[in-house]
Structures are given as C-alpha cells and as structure tokens.
C-alpha cells in the first residue's frame, strides 16, 4: 500500500471543519480543474478525471469531529481509500488528508505525482472555501 499525506492547520474549530467535510456535496469546491462532471449527495460523489476515468467515492465511515473515510463507490482501477483526519489543536484544527492506494510498480511510477498533487490541492483549497 502506498500512502500520500498532506496536512494543514486551520484557525477554525474542529466542529466547523468536520461539518463541511462530512458532506460530499461540499467536496466539489476542493477539486482541481481536471475534475469535471461532478454530481454528489451527502454520502457519495461521482466525477470524471480529465483524460483518465469516471470515478465514484462514497463515505464508508464517519467519526464525528475526528475522521471521514471514503472508498470507491464503483469499481476503481486500483484499491484506494481517502481519509480526512481532524485533530483539535491550540485555537484551531490540524487537518490531514491521507490517500492509501494499492499500486503496482508501474502504476506507482505513473500515479504518485498526480495523486500527491491532488491531495495537496484539496488540503490547500480548504482554507479558501471555509
């Protein structure tokens, strides 16, 4: 399993950050330009990655004010999970986005850069939308 992690500190209460992230409808605001055809409900999001594939992610676990974990809602090209981890810190919240992917050596070489860039983009976009 290959793990990609990105972390940010926000000067916001953990409850506010969790409330935003627990609803898939809000995640469209965090996506880069190469994500389009977005449709979502509170528990699931469907989208297309430009020049790649259509994907679906669904919430498989919510721990209030602690974490939200997503897994593919339909068959994906590789096993993957995406987890938002929240931790209250002095006058704010430490937010970590972790993507775990089962990548063979070839996929790892091709996808590592784009996957890290994706989670970095999402975590850095969070303060803008909150």
Q: What's the CATH code of the domain at 35?
A: 3.30.530.20
CA dist 117 and 14 (Å) reads 25
pLDDT tens per residue, the chain (130 residues)?
Answer: 899 999 999 999 999 999 999 999 999 999 999 889 999 999 999 988 777 668 899 999 999 999 999 998 887 777 889 999 999 998 899 999 999 998 888 888 888 888 899 999 999 999 999 9
CA dist 35 and 33 (Å) reads 5
CA dist 24 and 119 (Å) reads 16
| Number of separate domains in the chain | 1
Closest by CA position to 69, among listed 32, 92, 40, 96: 96
Domain span holding position 61 = 2-129
Q: Is 76 left (phi over 0), alpha (psi -120 to 50) or beta?
A: beta
Give the DSSP H/E element, type plus range, for residue 14: helix 14-21
User: Tell me: the pLDDT tens digits for 58-70?
Assistant: 999 999 999 999 9
């Amino acid at each position: 399993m290959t793990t990609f992690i990105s972390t940010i500190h926000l000067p916001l209460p953990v409850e506010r950050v969790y409330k935003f992230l627990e609803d898939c409808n809000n995640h469209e605001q965090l996506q880069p330009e190469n994500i389009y055809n977005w449709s979502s409900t509170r528990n699931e999001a469907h989208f297309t990655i430009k020049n790649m594939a259509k994907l679906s992610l669904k919430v498989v676990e919510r721990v209030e004010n602690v974490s939200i974990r997503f897994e593919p809602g339909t068959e994906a090209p590789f096993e993957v999970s995406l987890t938002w981890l929240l931790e209250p810190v002095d006058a704010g919240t430490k937010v970590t986005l972790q993507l775990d992917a089962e990548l063979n050596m070839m996929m790892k070489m091709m996808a590592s850069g784009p996957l890290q860039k994706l989670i970095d983009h999402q975590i850095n976009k969070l303060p803008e939308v909150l």
